[in-house]
Chain A
Amino acid sequence: MSEPVIVARGLTKRYRNATVVDAISFEVARGEIFGLLGPNGAGKTTTILMMLGLTEVTAGEVLVLGKDPVRAPLEVKRRVGYLPDSVGFYDQLTAFENLSYTARLMGIGHAERTARIEDALRRVRLHEVMDKRVGTFSRGMRQRLGLAEILMKRAEIAILDEPTSGLDPQATHEFLDMIEGLKRDGVTVLLSSHLLDQVQRVCDRVALFHAGRIALIGTVPQLAQQVLGGGYLVDLDVEAPAGVDLVHVLGAVPGVISVDRVGQFRYRLAAARDVRPDAARAAVSAGGALTRLSVEEASLDAIYTRYFQSQAASGGARDAA
């Protein structure tokens, strides 16, 4: 991992008596796409606002590009682009005028302004409508305009809060492509979302927020390892001869972490790698009749669901005690 551009240590935000963000720590390396994941109200947006110095930090610290956003907010905000959740623009102004206003706020000179804005709008494919009022824009177009603002800013870090919520599948697909384009430009992307398949598609690493804490952090396979016990799920349908305990047999296959018997003939293996050949060989050599064999990579969806199920279970137990 190269030098970190965002470092949070014990970052905490409390409102009167509610702790919204509870002593979280993480690092984001330059050039990676980092996903903040979690249900609504888990503290993702508050964390983002603290990184931008838009809300005060109660305790702990966060450094963005080596600067404290509370002490040096202008420096941080000059180099970081932010696309808020359901971004708004001035409806009576055109797309170009909206960006021109923010460009002037950034202090970009007149000559450079037009070129930068047009270039950014071309990249998000809003070039043809740049002289139309934003009031006529669809939600997807507004999101893209927000992205154009970050491009125009030439931000080193792009913070995107729920950028794809409420977009149709086509618009979402396009938007995710554009996020990957940012990464190719060397921009570090921090993406907050609760749409898991999208996060899984573009993010290098994710942090799973739960009730103000980071419950899990790492790459998707790492999380799968932690939550599901393995990065791969192998399903086998095997009719076993009497007297053979297939759970035991399959459990002995190298790489298999756990074996569940999920149906009369169905076994589900959690494994660190794709163990299909070995598992099939083991089942057949034990005398079983193998009828189906499949593998799936652990999805974030499965990790997420499993994690919150187990949390609910242990939380319930804790409440009862």
Chain B
Amino acid sequence: MRREGSAFQGLGTVMLKELADQLSSARVIILQLLIVLIGGTSLWGALDQLKQTTAEDPFLLLKIFTVDRAPLPSFVGILGFLIPIVAIGLGFDAVNGEHNRRTLSRILAQPIYRDALLMGKFLAGLATLAIMLLCLWLLVVGSGVLLLGVPPGTEEIVRSLIFLVIALAYCGVWLALAMLLSVVFRSAASAALVALGLWLFLTLIWPMLAQFLAQVIAPPDFRYQMLGLPTPDTLEWQQALARLSPNQLFGECVLAILSPTTRALGPIYLDQLQGAVVGTGLPLAQSLLIAWPQIVGLVAGTIVLFVAGYIAFQRQEVRA
């Protein structure tokens, strides 16, 4: 049975309305302030560090993103931590909020499909995050130019823009998760708590758990242990498990894109390094190739979570 009319009718209207709501909401302003403050602190640390150690680095601008100074984490480290909070903050009451305000049935009685409502909300959230990230990017690049006095090269700009896209995909995963939870849980507070719980689990507990599970699945070989080396099997399992967390994927992508000297994201054998000029950067295309599976993973995660939320929303009863 085919339905009549476009599923995207009203999509633009919903998106613009949601975007306007978010950009004017106190919540977004506070989150943005939080990011700028914390990001600014780590940026200042990085600039300070770079001024002292500056050398002949061809990618000085990219260093601003990745260099950290002792107690402060690097700028990308901060982003990896804060992006989920912001994305969850934007998405956790997307659908259940409409339920609780009793606006859902009224809006769905207008000539639009549910698709438009959910998609519009998702795109509006993503657009809000994109605006925030772009502001941050401009802030970082601008302060780099002004305070370090180094003009950015083309490749640096391209690499940092790719980083922006990856960060957006990372936002997408958390936004889609938050929206899925906003469909599943009728109470916004439960959705927010569960989302934050998952975030804590995936960023803090899962890396440790991955290590533990890898040792259970593939026990370390004592011959390697004797030599003080990690067992390859265990290491591979650990990495595979750790990559279930979007945080890990984001970290690896960023490493490959922003540090051109990164040659592999997994364990590497000495024989693989034969002929390599260690310490020189890879061309952009090669760096992108290294990060490609991770990028695809992030985008796929976004799509899977969004589809799950979509199906749940289509099957949900409208009445309170």
Contacts and interface: CB of A to CB of B under 8 A. Distances in A.
* Most chain A beta-carbon neighbours within 10 Å: one of B14, B101, B108: B108
B4 A75 contact: yes
A255 interface: no
Interface in B84-111: 101-103, 105-111
B110 to A, nearest CB: 4
Contacts of A104: 10, 13, 17
Contacts of B317: 55
Given A55-B317, A73-B113, A88-B101, A82 B106 contact: yes
Interface string A87-129: 1111110000000011011110000000000000000000000
Contact of A102 (B3, B5, B105, B107): B107
A281 interface: no
Contacts of B4: 71-75
A196 interface: no
A84 B109 contact: yes
14 contacts: A49-B318, A70-B1, A71-B2, A73-B4, A74-B9, A74-B111, A84-B109, A86-B102, A87-B106, A92-B21, A102-B110, A104-B13, A107-B9, A146-B106
A137 B106 CA distance: 17
Given A77-B110, A105-B112, A45 B103 contact: no
Given A74-B5, A90-B101, A92-B21, A107 B106 contact: no
Contacts of B107: 102, 105
B51 interface: no
A84 B110 CA distance: 12
Contact of B3 (A45, A52, A71, A88): A71
B113 A74 contact: yes
Nearest to B116: A105
Contacts of A78: 111
Contact of A91 (B14, B101, B111): B101
- Pairs A-B, 4 closest by C-beta atoms: A88-B102, A82-B109, A74-B5, A78-B111
Contacts of B102: 84, 86-88
A249 interface: no
B319 interface: yes
Contacts, number: 87
A54 interface: yes
A55 B111 CA distance: 15
A105 B13 contact: yes
Is the interface on chain B under 10, 10 to 19, 20 to 34, or 35 or more residues? 20 to 34
A191 B249 CA distance: 55
Contacts of B111: 73-75, 77-78, 105-107
A73 B113 CA distance: 8
A55 B105 CA distance: 11
Contact of A105 (B2, B10, B319): B10
Interface of B: 1-5, 9-10, 13-14, 17, 21, 101-103, 105-113, 317-319
User: Main SS of the interface on chain A?
Assistant: mixed
Interface in A13-68: 45-46, 49, 52, 54-55
A46 B318 CA distance: 10
Nearest to A72: B4
A58 to B, nearest CB: 13
A54 B318 contact: yes
A155 B141 CA distance: 54
Nearest to A67: B4
A104 B107 CA distance: 11
B8 to A, nearest CB: 12
A78 B10 CA distance: 12
A45 B105 CA distance: 11
A88 B1 contact: no
Nearest to A77: B111
Contact of B319 (A45, A89, A90, A92): A45
Given A45-B319, A49-B318, A101-B17, A71 B1 contact: yes
Contact of A101 (B2, B13, B101, B105): B13
Contact of A54 (B2, B10, B17, B108): B108
Contacts of A86: 102
A130 to B, nearest CB: 18
Contact of A74 (B2, B106, B112, B318): B112
A55 B14 CA distance: 22
A102 B13 CA distance: 9
B101 to A, nearest CB: 4
B17 A77 contact: no
Contacts of A49: 105, 318-319
Given A84-B106, A91-B101, 18 more contacts: A49-B318, A52-B109, A54-B105, A55-B319, A71-B1, A73-B3, A73-B111, A74-B112, A75-B4, A77-B112, A78-B111, A84-B102, A84-B109, A87-B102, A102-B107, A105-B10, A105-B13, A105-B111
